[in-house]
């Protein structure tokens, strides 16, 4: 079973490593009502097993009165890991402050782990576990085509992956098409005025980025994947015919359904598309990291 598909309770949460927050930077502009922060963590361990596209575990304090010692959550490694002068691993994670509406009471609650992480400040410490899994792999053939489709904090593993591909992988010659969905331009993580990290790859001959925004962001309309993807529909379908094309998807769970809708409109019917997607997934050519 892929790491991304495991239930949280099935993860091994030992050993645990203390981490210190070295920095916490808001990467959405103040005008945005979404707060996403990038945290740089130094992990207190001698070895450095972290790799781009893995996840780490975070143990946010629980409420022992309710029998919760902690809240265990996963976060994607959002950049190429580095090592401090003293040999300790340093990793970045990108965290969105979330709240949710309780289905019984109808009340709005702050998400435990995301708020805990977003409130941490430099010098604070936290417990971490992992790293776990590696959702997306660099294809064996260096001329493969990669179609990366992400939304919201789903860009975090892709940012690490793209950096890894262009900086560490020798002889990468394949095409990379990044489709990134966000509510509005303000929430285009790593592609906005606060942090434009991904722009450095726009000059790469093999890299292309396409944005898909919500048509009416204040009405919480879904992201308009149709426009970004359907415009290139024929080309994408032709790419999918080829053995060395891989589609990697990352973000919230509803993306899977939204993309099924878009691709089934390109590919005649939902039934045909479902079968096609299943076949791609079975060959490891359609991989999803959803939460
Ligand atoms: C493999 C994996 C990788 C993940 N990587 C990241 C990451 O890089 N960055 C990140 O912020 N979160 C990531 N998450 C989600 C993260 O683990 C938590 O679920 C999230 O931070 C909410 O936790 P919470 O305790 O604050 O709220 P919870 O009480 O657990 O959840 C509150 C609500 O928020 C929704 N939600 C969860 N995550 C998000 C999000 N990122 N954006 C919008 N709504 C959300 C949930 O569906 C739920 O309805 C990942 C999850 C998995 C399984």
The string of pLDDT tens digits covering residues 85-109 is 999 999 999 999 999 988 889 999 9
Residue 220 has a pLDDT of: 64
- What average pLDDT does range 252-256 have in this prediction? 91
pLDDT at 1 over 50: no
Distance CA 4, CA 11 (A): 11
Atom 26, ligand 1: residue with shortest CA distance: 111
CA angle 96, 165, 210 (to 5 degrees): 60
Q: Which atom of ligand 1 is nearest to the CA of 74?
A: 17
What are the phi and psi torsion angles at 26 (to 5°)?
Answer: -75, 125
Taking the domain 3-132, which CATH number applies?
2.40.30.10
Q: Which atom of ligand 1 is nearest to the CA of 76?
A: 8
- What average pLDDT does range 214-228 have in this prediction? 72
- What average pLDDT does range 135-152 have in this prediction? 95
Q: What is the mean pLDDT of the chain?
A: 91
* Ligand 1 lined by 134 (C-beta under 6 Å): no
Residue 182 has a pLDDT of: 86
pLDDT at 5 over 60: no
All CATH 3.40.50.80 domain ranges of the chain, comma separated, are 145-290
* Ligand 1 lined by 128 (C-beta under 6 Å): no
* Ligand 1 lined by 166 (C-beta under 6 Å): no
Q: What percent of the chain has pLDDT over 70?
A: 96
- Residue, of 123 and 213, whose pLDDT is higher: 123
Confidence label for 31 from pLDDT (cuts 50, 70 and 90) = very high
Residues 6+ apart with CB under 8 A from 131: 49, 50, 51, 54, 55, 56, 77
Confidence label for 2 from pLDDT (cuts 50, 70 and 90) = very low
- What average pLDDT does range 130-153 have in this prediction? 94
Distance CA 113, CA 9 (A): 15
Residue 128 has a pLDDT of: 98
Cα–Cα distance list, 245 to 75, 171, 277 (Å): 27, 17, 13
Q: Which atom of ligand 1 is nearest to the CA of 93?
A: 8
Q: If 0-12 CB within 10 Å is exposed, 13-18 middle and 19+ buried, where does residue 271 land?
A: exposed
- What average pLDDT does range 150-155 have in this prediction? 94
All CATH 2.40.30.10 domain ranges of the chain, comma separated, are 3-132
- What average pLDDT does range 186-215 have in this prediction? 86
Q: Mutate which of 72, 114, 161, 249 to test ligand 1's pocket (most atoms within 8 Å of Cβ)?
A: 114
Q: Report the residue count for the chain.
A: 291
Distance CA 188, CA 196 (A): 9
Residue 88 has a pLDDT of: 97
Q: Please choose, from the candidates 73, 83, 68, the residue with its C-alpha nearest in 3D space to the C-alpha of residue 128.
A: 73
Q: How far is the CA of 38 from the centre of ligand 1 (A)?
A: 14
Q: How far is the CA of 64 from the centre of ligand 1 (A)?
A: 22
Q: Which atom of ligand 1 is nearest to the CA of 156?
A: 8
Strand partners, 59: 72, 127
Q: Please choose, from the candidates 231, 222, 210, 225, the residue with its C-alpha nearest in 3D space to the C-alpha of residue 183.
A: 222
On whether the CB atoms of residues 246 and 144 are closer than 8 A, the answer is: yes
Q: Is the peptide bond before 15 cis (omega within 30 degrees of 0)?
A: yes
pLDDT at 176 over 50: yes
* Ligand 1 lined by 70 (C-beta under 6 Å): no
Confidence label for 20 from pLDDT (cuts 50, 70 and 90) = very high
Taking the domain 145-290, which CATH number applies?
3.40.50.80
Residue 136 has a pLDDT of: 94
Report the chain's C-alpha Rg in angstroms.
Answer: 19
Confidence label for 183 from pLDDT (cuts 50, 70 and 90) = confident
Q: How far is the CA of 141 from the centre of ligand 1 (A)?
A: 33
Distance CA 253, CA 290 (A): 5
């Amino acid at each position: 079973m892929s790491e991304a598909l495991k239930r949280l309770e099935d993860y091994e949460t030992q050993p645990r490593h203390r981490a210190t927050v070295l920095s916490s930077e808001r990467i959405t502009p103040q005008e945005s009502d979404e707060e996403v922060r990038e945290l740089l963590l130094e992990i207190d361990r001698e070895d450095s097993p972290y790799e781009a596209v893995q996840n780490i575990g975070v143990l946010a304090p629980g409420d022992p009165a309710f029998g919760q010692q902690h809240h265990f959550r996963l976060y994607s490694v959002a950049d190429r890991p580095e090592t401090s002068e003293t040999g300790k691993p340093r990793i970045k994670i990108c965290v969105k402050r979330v709240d949710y509406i309780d289905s019984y009471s109808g009340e709005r609650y702050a998400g435990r782990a995301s708020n805990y992480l977003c409130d941490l400040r430099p010098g604070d410490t936290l417990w971490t576990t992992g790293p776990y899994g590696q959702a997306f792999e660099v294809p064996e053939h260096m001329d493969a085509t990669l179609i990366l489709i992400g939304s919201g904090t789903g860009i975090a593993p892709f940012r690490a992956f793209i950096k890894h591909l262009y900086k560490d992988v020798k002889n990468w010659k394949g095409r990379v098409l990044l489709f990134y969905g966000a509510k509005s331009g303000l929430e285009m993580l790593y592609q906005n005025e606060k942090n434009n990290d991904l722009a450095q790859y726009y000059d790469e001959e093999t890299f292309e980025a396409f944005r898909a925004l919500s048509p009416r962001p204040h009405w919480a309309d879904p992201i308009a994947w149709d426009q970004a993807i359907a415009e290139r529909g024929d080309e994408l379908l032709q790419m999918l015919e080829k053995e060395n094309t891989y589609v990697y998807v990352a973000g919230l769970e509803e993306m899977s359904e939204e993309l099924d809708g878009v691709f089934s409109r390109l590919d005649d019917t939902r039934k045909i598309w479902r079968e096609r997607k299943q076949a791609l997934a079975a060959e490891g050519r359609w991989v999803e990291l959803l939460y």
